Amino acid sequence: MSDADLSLSLWLCGDGIDVPPLPVATAADAAAATLPAEPFDAGPLLAAWSARGGPVHDAGLGARPGEGGGRGEGCRDLAWFRREVLGGGQGEQGAGKGKGTVHPGKAGGGEGSGGSAGGPAPAERPRPRVEVGAHPHAGALGPSGEGGYVHDPTRLKRHPVAVALSAEEERGACEAKRDGHKEVMEHVEVAPPTPGARVFCTVYTHAKNHGTAVKAVASTWAPKCDGFMVSSTETDEALGAVNILHEGPEEYDNIWQKVRSTWAYIHDNYRHEYDWFYIGGDDLFLVVENLKAYLYSDEIRAAGEGGEPLFLGRRFKEGGKEDKIFNSGGAGYVLNRRALELLNGQFEGDKCMPHLKAFWEDVMVARCLKNEGVHAYDTRDGQGGERFHPFTPGHHLHYAAPKKNPESDWYIKYTIDLKFGMDCCSEESLSFHYVKPDLMQKLYRFVYGLCSDP
């Protein structure tokens, strides 16, 4: 369907906005309501009105009781609405067309454009208030705040972000310190290219990190994914960042809602295009070749035979309890298409706690999948080495259990069959966490052998 087919016309009145059902109103209907003759994207207008506390009705154009199909008392024209509700220049952006469907009553609203890949991240503006019932399928906003935006996940692969380092910075990126990072990354063997496993990678963040953490991800491992997206608070097409709307505030203690909406957006727009879906934070380093090789291995292909749902990552015991296993969000985790569909089907059920405000999104995803009988899969290699890692390479290499009361360390309590030293990490390791931008460049150079020997 074309953008025009998926657009909505508005019936603008002083006591609310009527959203006509599809198909869009005709030119004659639009003229009678002083609307533009061609359809337009209603998303940003609806969200702006909602943010002002205005009611939104679900009715046919001209079908309101007592109005005889024409504009009623107190109605306002589009120019008034743009001026008074959207305000100034932003209102002119509000009528732009967006990609994808804008669902009546579920449209997101206008935050404005994101920053460019090369400049500092712009100051964040307040997120529009969207009715709770619209989530987690409220969609995303485009660069100009238009609703119904659908990201192109292949853009970064086709147009990689280049980061030019000075000679001094390049030397620093290749400098090997006594922190264990180089030793572990040289222990990891990068798999050859793997056909067949189409992988969609996602990291979540906010606009203030676009010029730092996100840029480091986008300029290193991200273009190796078949599809890539950054779930953020502003849309920046050059970085693959998308402003995905979610319930509640944008803060660490509400990551569950952010991730819930991110997974719903992925499900709605990309589930048929890819086989596997990986998610983690913006401080994640991923060896994409090893991820794809593992997903296409005989073991995983057999485990997923017949459409079995798979949930892969670094298993932890919640509170040390064997019956409460989840995959670490820090290390990132992977769903196949069937698991994604089952997770999406759980999002609005009471057992999945759809309105919970919490930071333990990884625990919540595991609980939701458990409702469908899906459990975290053991992803260790044949020697018991882990592939997914919740810390940096050097941290894992040098980690030692506390001599007194080792059970007091959450990592000891949560980990299944913990190994120490180089045994910590499989030669097929694929992810590490808490990786800052400068370390991201180091790990990338170490694992791919890009540093010349001194």
Mean pLDDT of 72-95: 40
* Residue 219 pLDDT greater than 60, yes or no: yes
Q: Which residue has the tokens 């609703």?
A: 147
Q: Would you say residue 79 has pLDDT above 60? A: no
**Residue 398 clears pLDDT 70, i.e. is over it:** yes
- Report the 10 Å Cβ neighbour count for 182: 21
**Residue 192 amino acid letter:** P
pLDDT value of position 104: 25
Alpha carbon distances (Å) from 46 to 40, 296, 413? 12, 44, 48
In one-letter notation, the amino acid at residue 40 is F
Contact criterion met (CB below 8 Å) for 194 and 293: yes
Report the alpha-carbon distance of residue 79 to residue 90 in Å, rounded: 13
3-state SS record for the chain: CCHHHHCECCEEECCEEEECCCCCCCHHHHHHCCCCCCCECCHHHHHHHHHCCCCEEECCCCCCCCCCCCCCCCECCHHHHHHHHHCHHHHHHHCCCCCCCCCCCCCCCCCCCCCCCCCCCCCCCCCCCCCHHHCCCCCEECCCCCCCCCCCCCHHHHCCCCCCCCHHHHHHHHCCCCCCHHHHHHHCCCCCCCCCCCEEEEEECCHHHHHHHHHHHHCCCHHHCCEEEEEECCCECCCCEEEECCCCCCCHHHHHHHHHHHHHHHHHHHCCCCCEEEEEECCCEECHHHHHHHHCCHHHHHHCCCCCCCEECCEEEHHHCCCCEEECCCCCEEEEHHHHHHHHHHCCCHHHCCCCCCCCHHHHHHHHHHCCCCCCECCCCCCCCECECCCCHHHHHHCCCCCCCHHHCHHHHHECCCCCHHHHECCCCCEECCCCHHHHHHHHHHHCCCCCCC
Q: Is the pLDDT of residue 86 over 80?
A: no
Mean pLDDT of the chain: 78
- Is pLDDT above 60 for 396? yes
Contacts of 76 (CB under 8 A, 6+ apart): 12, 13, 14, 84
- Measured CA to CA, the distance from residue 207 to residue 243 in angstroms comes to 9
> How far apart (Å, rounded) are the C-alpha atoms in residues 231 and 245?
9
Is the pLDDT reported for residue 350 higher than 60?
yes
| pLDDT for the residue numbered 212 | 96
The domain limits of the chain are 3-140, 155-447
- Return d(Cα 443, Cα 448) in angstroms, integer: 8
pLDDT reading at 68 higher than 50:
no
| Residue 64 burial (C-beta neighbours within 10 Å; 0-12, 13-18, 19+) | buried
Confidence at residue 113, expressed as pLDDT on a 0 to 100 scale: 30
- For residue 355 the two structure tokens come to 């309105």
Q: Note whether 423 and 386 are within 8 A (CB).
A: no
**Tokens at residue 365, please?**
């995803």
Question: Bigger pLDDT: 139 or 12?
Answer: 139
Strands 199-204, 140-141: pairing is: unpaired
pLDDT at 95 over 80: no
φ, ψ for residue 281 (rounded to 5)?
-85, 175
Q: How far is CA 96 from the centre of its chain?
A: 24
Residues 359-373: pLDDT tens digits? 999 999 999 999 999
What per-residue confidence (pLDDT) applies to 453?
65
Interatomic CA distance for residues 131 and 263, integer angstroms: 19
The mean-pLDDT minimum among 36-45, 91-100, 227-236 falls in 91-100
Average pLDDT over residues 393-421: 93
Structure tokens at 431: 């992810």
Q: Which two tokens stand for residue 8?
A: 């909505």
pLDDT band at 105 (very low <50, low <70, confident <90, very high): very low
Q: Please tell me the predicted confidence (pLDDT) of residue 40.
A: 37
Beta bridge partners of 49: none
Burial of 368 (0-12, 13-18, 19+ CB in 10 A): buried
Contact status, residue 395 vs residue 411, Cβ threshold 8 Å: no
8 Å CB contact between 229 and 242: yes
Range of lowest pLDDT (70-79, 174-183, 270-279): 70-79
CA distance 97 to 295: 38
Write out the CATH class of domain 155-447.
alpha beta
82's CB contacts (< 8 A; 6+ apart) are 91, 92, 94, 95
